[in-house]
Chains A and B, each alone.
Chain A
Amino acid sequence: MSTLSSPRTEPAGRPRTDPYAPAARRARRRSAGLGLLAWIVGIVFCLPALWMLLTSFHSEADAATNPPSFGAGLTLDSYRVFFGAGGGASPWPPLINSLTASLFSTVFVLVLALPAAYALSIKRVEKWTDVMFFFLSTKMLPVVAGLLPVYLFAKNTGMLDNIWLLVILYTSMNLPIAVWMMQSFLADVPVSIIEAAQVDGARLPTVLARVVAPVAAPGIAATALICFIFSWNELLFARVLTGVTAQTAPVFLTGFVTSQGLFLAQLCAASVVVSLPVLAAGFAAQDKLVQGLSLGAVK
């Protein structure tokens, strides 16, 4: 059979592929080269973060050497010291404060933004674009411009060093972003499905739970993760408005650097621990990250 088929295909196949073969091979080689380049660039770009991770597993003596000890033995000592084995301040209260501020502000943001986004996408209020741009314009007001009155207000009402003040501020900080994101996610729910459900006699709560929620759920989750990240990262408000009891993790980190000799491994461990929740949330929201960060303008 092979003797029969090979003479028939070869003359037909050869003239067709031959002139293109070198070009295709060149293109393939070039594409493989660019793939390799992307890998190298990615690793180099991420190197500082990888170095931080590696250093956090080194002993203090190995962490602060010149030239760097790339292959030094690994240890969990820095993490143990960071979590209080060395007798320093425990990181748990700041971590719990950050968690409280981030979680509660995210919940409040969702509670306020979901109905608003509903009124701006599914059941559109008149002049809904103007309302959208009002929300966005508040995000463009520099935080620092409202800081002093907030500080004075907190001082006079005894709210200084109170984590719930941060919860309120973080809610307002993330609300515009959440409204924009969720508006774009809810607008993806086809109107025809909603109307079909209503024609079938479904009431509003049923429509929301059975029709809107399943379509919009991934977007709502991404919104929540992004709000969580922004709250967790915030430094300026936390720095000015908290002291000892309501101190958040970023504030704790800035105070972590002591003038004592060897601390680099510990500092790296602390940075890794504080960044972990954000990294986890960010990787979880990776697919919707662009849409969120560009306020829904880019899909």
Chain B
Amino acid sequence: MSTSVSTPPLSPAGASRPGAPRRAGRRASGRARAWATRAPLLPALVFLIAVTQLPFVATLVISLFDWNSLAPDERGFAGLANYGSVFSDASLRESVFTTVLLTASVVIVSVVLGLLLALLLDRKFLGRGFVRTLLITPFLLVPVSAALLWKHALYNPEYGLFNGAWAWFTGLFGVSAPAQPDWISDMPLIAVEAALVWQWTPFMMLILLAGLQSRPAEIIEAAKLDGATTWQTFRFLTLPHLRRYLELGVLLGSIYIVQNFDAVFTLTSGGLGTANLPYTIYQTFYQAHEYGLASAAGVVVVIGTIVIATFALRVVSSLFSEEANRA
């Protein structure tokens, strides 16, 4: 509806201008104008291709070589052997599994929590802006700081806040020997996930809150007048409206969390079965100096990411065209 309103006034105004004065040399000037339009785009494009695409091509090439920098003489073409190793190597396979588990659990839990928080914030109450600020603070901590905070100030078995607060709380009831688990060694993956969920919930909340606030108010009002319960309104109006915001949150979250390095590196140094692919690749090349193998693993990550990214692009593109139509 909005397209039919907004496009007509634009195109005649644009079309009437170039046709009027000059006729001669119009094709040449047209081509020049096309280049003049393109020119501002070129520096960014060229720079981006050079810095992000060329290294990946190099990775692709290196992945076909048997190359350990500690044994430079044995470097040679290996074909697809590195890919065979990626899939047969137990630790790499395990890190693929860890990556999927870590990403999926963090994304799902933070989307659910983010939705609950967004629903809480989607109403007027005293100090709402301040509460919103409180809620996004975790997202605005430097990831390394947040990971260090969780590792030392919260999880530490002797003086961390979790065990400390538990001891204080049980002490109120006269318990003399409260449970004091060593969080990171008892449940390493959950420990990493909890820290990541804490940082990513605000991100989901922000996207979903924007989704809630873009709900057409008249329809909600009409449903209320028709006697719909809060749950019915949520289930049949809010949730369908939020669907694409949920998709967007899930997909953008997946793209960022698949690549997570900071939390794994800081909290567990990849130990205790928490090494995800980025960490394993970092280790394979930085500590084991297996360049060929690391590159092959990198290519595998890229292929996995492309699968998620294709969906992500589709979602972003549908939201994008909706925006474009509305404008």
Q: Which residues of A approach B to under 8 Å, CB–CB?
A: 31-32, 34-35, 37-39, 41-43, 45-46, 48-49, 51-52, 55, 63-68, 112-113, 115-116, 118-120, 123-126, 129, 131-153, 168-169, 171-172, 175-176, 179, 184, 187-188, 191, 195, 229, 232-233, 235-236, 239-240, 249-250, 253-254, 256-257, 264, 267-268, 270-272, 274-275, 278-279, 282-283, 286, 289-290, 293-299
Q: Give Cα distance in the complex from A229 to B278, angstroms.
A: 21
CB distance B47 to A271 under 8 Å?
A: no
Inter-subunit contact A297/B153 (CB<8 Å): no
Q: How far is the CA of A171 from the CA of B47 in the complex (A)?
A: 9
Interface string of B100-138 (1 = CB under 8 A from A): 000000000000000001001101011110111111111
Which of B53, B277, B312, B320 has the most A CB atoms < 10 Å from its CB?
A: B320
Q: Which residues of B contact A126 (CB under 8 A)?
A: 34
B37 touches A146 (CB 8 A): no
Given A64-B159, A187-B327, A278-B142, are A236 and B45 neighbors across the interface (CB < 8 Å)?
no
Answer whether A43 and B44 are a contact pair too, CB < 8 Å, given A142-B302, A297-B248, A297-B319: no
Residues of chain A lying within 8 A (CB to CB) of residue B185: none
Q: Which residues of B contact A43 (CB under 8 A)?
A: 134
**Are A52 and B153 CB-contacts (below 8 A) given A140-B306, A240-B282, A250-B142?**
yes
- Provide the B141-160 mask, 1 if CB < 8 A to any CB of A, else 0: 11111101110111010110
**Highest count of chain A CB atoms <10 Å: which of B41, B150, B167:** B41
Closest 4 CB pairs of A and B: A35-B125, A115-B40, A146-B55, A149-B58
Which residues on the B side are within 8 Å of A299 (C-beta)? 210, 214, 323
| Contact across chains for A146 and B305 when beta carbons are under 8 A apart | no
20 further contact pairs, Cβ within 8 A, besides A64-B159, A67-B167, A176-B48: A42-B130, A45-B117, A45-B201, A46-B135, A49-B138, A116-B44, A119-B39, A137-B313, A141-B52, A145-B302, A146-B55, A148-B59, A148-B62, A148-B295, A149-B55, A149-B56, A151-B285, A236-B261, A271-B142, A297-B323
Between-chain CB contacts (< 8 Å), 15 pairs:
A35-B126, A38-B121, A38-B125, A41-B135, A42-B134, A48-B161, A51-B161, A145-B56, A235-B144, A240-B286, A253-B142, A257-B152, A268-B153, A271-B142, A279-B141
Given A142-B301, A148-B298, A289-B206, decide whether A267 and B44 contact each other with a Cβ distance below 8 A.
no
A122 to chain B, nearest CB (A): 10
B15 located at the interface, meaning its Cβ lies under 8 Å from any Cβ of chain A in the complex: no
Q: Are A298 and B211 in contact (CB under 8 A)?
A: yes
A295 touches B316 (CB 8 A): yes
Residues of A within 8 A of B148 (CB): 253-254, 256-257, 267, 271
Return the chain B residue nearest A282 by Cβ.
Answer: B140
Contacts of B159 in A (CB 8 A): 63-66, 68, 264
Contact partners of B39 in chain A: CB under 8 A: 115, 119
**Contacts between chains A and B (CB distance < 8 A), count:** 311
Give the docked Cα–Cα distance between A52 and B171 (Å): 23
Closest-by-CB residue of B relative to A253 is B144
Whether A294 lies near B131 (C-beta < 8 A) is no
CA distance A187 to B41 in the complex (A): 16
Given contacts A140-B305, A145-B298, A184-B323, contact A282 B139 (CB under 8 A): yes
Are A133 and B141 in touch, CB under 8 angstroms?
no
A268 to B154, CA, bound (A): 11
Q: What residues on A are CB-neighbors of B150 within 8 Å?
A: 48
B contact residues, range: 35 or more
Chain B proximity of A52: nearest CB distance (Å): 5
The CA-CA distance from A195 to B323 in the complex, in Å, is: 22
Which residue on chain B has the smallest CB distance to residue A252?
B144
B320 surroundings in chain A (CB, below 8 A) = 129, 132, 296-297
Q: Quick one: which of B207, B299, B308 has the most chain A CB within 10 A?
A: B207
Q: A176 vs B52: C-alpha distance in the bound complex, in angstroms?
A: 11
Residues in chain B within 8 A of chain A (CB atoms): 10, 13, 34, 37-41, 43-45, 47-48, 51-56, 58-59, 62, 117, 120-121, 123, 125-128, 130-146, 148-150, 152-154, 156, 158-159, 161, 163-165, 167-168, 171, 198, 201, 203, 206-207, 209-211, 214, 245, 248, 252, 255, 258-259, 261-262, 265-266, 277-278, 281-282, 285-286, 291, 294-295, 298-299, 301-302, 305-306, 308-309, 312-313, 316-317, 319-320, 323-324, 327
Contact B40 A119 (CB under 8 A): yes
Which of these, B13, B134, B141, contacts A271 with CB under 8 Å? B141
Which interface residue of B141, B165, B265, B308 has the most chain A CB atoms within 10 A? Answer: B141
Contact pick for B37, options A123, A239, A290, CB 8 Å:
A123
> Is the Cβ of B262 less than 8 Å from the Cβ of A235?
yes
Residue from the set A149, A195, A233 with the largest chain B CB neighbour count within 10 Å: A149
Q: How far apart are the CA atoms of A133 and B266 in the complex, in Å?
A: 33
Assess whether B198 is in contact with A48, with CB atoms less than 8 Å apart. yes
Interface centre among B58, B134, B295 (most CB of A within 10 A): B134
When the two chains form their complex, are residues A38 and B298 in contact, meaning their CB atoms are under 8 A apart?
Answer: no
Of the listed residues A64, A140, A268, the one surrounded by the most CB atoms of chain B closer than 10 A to its CB is A140
Chain B: which residue is nearest A63 at the CB level?
B159
Asked if B10 and A146 make an inter-chain contact with CB atoms under 8 angstroms apart, the answer reads: no
How near does chain A come to B39, taking the closest CB pair, in angstroms? 8
Contact B47 A112 (CB under 8 A): yes
Evaluate whether A49 and B137 lie within 8 angstroms (CB atoms) in the complex, with A31-B125, A39-B127, A253-B145 already known: yes
What is the chain A residue whose CB lies nearest that of B320? A297
